[in-house]
Copies of this chain bind each other. A is one copy, B any other.
């Protein structure tokens, strides 16, 4: 009868085992912290399947152009402007813009402005 009950409710039984886990809600602006020496990455969520970080760049700071085979990355700009490279292209993005760096493509960002740059960043799957 119990297994029928689970099936009827369309809730996977394993979900029942997880009810003790606290739902984590983060106010992203509370996590924004800059470092004078280099761009600061603040981890919001680090699951088995992806990273979700906030990148905080003071004027002049950058994430060097790099690539990782097998993982895609999303950049979503929360505050400020930045020059983002994906593959052979570089574009200026501003708050509210989003872009994708596909697996294997070189990518990076520089805060070329005089104001802070804050971005939400997702990468999946986690690089091996």
Q: How many residues of A contact B (CB 8 A)?
A: 51
**Residues of B with C-beta under 8 A to A29:** 96
Task: Determine the distance from Cα of A91 to Cα of B25 in the docked complex, in whole angstroms.
Answer: 8
Q: A50-B50, A100-B52, A125-B49 in contact; A23/B91 too (CB < 8 A)?
A: yes
A128 interface residue, CB < 8 Å from B? Answer: no
B122–A50 contact, CB under 8 A?
yes
Closest 10 CB pairs of A and B: A124-B124, A19-B88, A23-B89, A23-B86, A14-B104, A47-B72, A45-B100, A50-B124, A49-B72, A25-B99
**Residues of B with C-beta under 8 A to A14:** 69, 104
A4 interface residue, CB < 8 Å from B? Answer: no
Task: Determine the distance from Cα of A124 to Cα of B50 in the docked complex, in whole angstroms.
Answer: 7
Number of this chain's copies in the assembly equals: 2
B18–A98 contact, CB under 8 A?
no
Within 8 A of B (CB), among A95-115: 96-100, 102-106
B19–A67 contact, CB under 8 A?
no
| CB closest residue in chain B, given A25 | B99
A76–B12 contact, CB under 8 A?
no
**Residues of B with C-beta under 8 A to A45:** 74, 98, 100
